[in-house]
């Protein structure tokens, strides 16, 4: 399945929540599913649908395709600890998410483009893979030649007012940040039932 490139708010309305990584909107103007029957009262969702919806929230927020997402769940299930929390830790550690969390891009798709175009460095070396896993202690910086580009300057100026999660530090003046601790479940910027996500894949792994 290809990465979703359709209307982002339409996807948020279908899932019933704003996905901060997908859109800069703070709230849903029409908090009901899209379509002519969106405002009608619907039957209670099945357990399968509720688990699917929770899974889709994470998939679309982080911009991960289905097979890749399933690999994340499989990896989390093999690690020691609660699978749901470890899954969030793996997803939050993606480089494109870190670039967005630092305030260098308005959305995760925009952050992915910045990474792919080679504007980001990890410990002084260019990394152009959005799925690169950032570990505690690693330094994330904007390449020196890229710091004078208009979109980077605008992002750095806007980042001064950005609220960042506790596991990240960032100095806009130096365009340099650092992961100081592993991401936690509480750092996710929206509500999701991680247990439902794990249960969705319980018979597939």
Measured CA to CA, the distance from residue 171 to residue 176 in angstroms comes to: 5
* 143-165 pLDDT per residue, tens: 999 999 999 999 999 888 888 99
Fold observed for domain 94-181: 3.10.290
Name the one residue in this structure whose structure tokens are 């980077």.
152
The answer to whether the predicted template modeling score (pTM) of the entire model surpasses 0.85 is: yes
Highest mean predicted confidence (pLDDT) among 6-10, 13-17, 118-122:
118-122
Q: What residue segments make up the domains of the chain, in order of their start?
A: 8-91+187-200, 94-181
CA-to-CA distance for 20 and 114, rounded, in angstroms?
A: 18
In CATH, what number does 8-91+187-200 get?
1.10.1050.10
The SS3 of residue 128 is coil
**Number of alpha carbons in the 13 Å side-chain half-sphere of residue 127:** 22
């Amino acid at each position: 399945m290809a990465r979703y490139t359709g209307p982002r708010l339409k996807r948020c309305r279908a899932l019933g929540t704003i996905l901060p990584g997908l859109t800069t909107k703070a709230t849903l103007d029409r908090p009901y599913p899209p379509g002519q029957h969106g405002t009608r009262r619907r039957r209670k969702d099945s357990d399968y649908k509720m688990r699917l919806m929770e899974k889709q929230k994470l998939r679309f927020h982080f911009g991960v395709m289905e097979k890749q997402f399933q690999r994340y769940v499989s990896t989390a299930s093999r690690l020691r600890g609660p699978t749901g929390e470890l899954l969030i830790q793996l997803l939050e550690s993606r480089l494109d998410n870190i670039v967005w969390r630092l305030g260098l891009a308005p959305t995760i798709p925009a952050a992915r483009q910045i990474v792919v175009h080679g504007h980001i460095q990890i410990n002084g070396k260019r990394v152009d893979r959005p799925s690169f896993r950032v570990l505690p202690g690693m330094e994330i910086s904007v390449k020196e030649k890229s710091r004078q580009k208009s979109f980077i300057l605008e992002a750095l100026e806007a980042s001064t007012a950005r609220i960042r999660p506790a596991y990240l530090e960032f100095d806009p003046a130096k365009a340099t940040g650092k992961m100081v601790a592993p991401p936690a479940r509480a750092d996710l910027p929206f509500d999701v039932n991680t247990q439902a996500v794990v249960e969705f894949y319980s018979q597939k792994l």
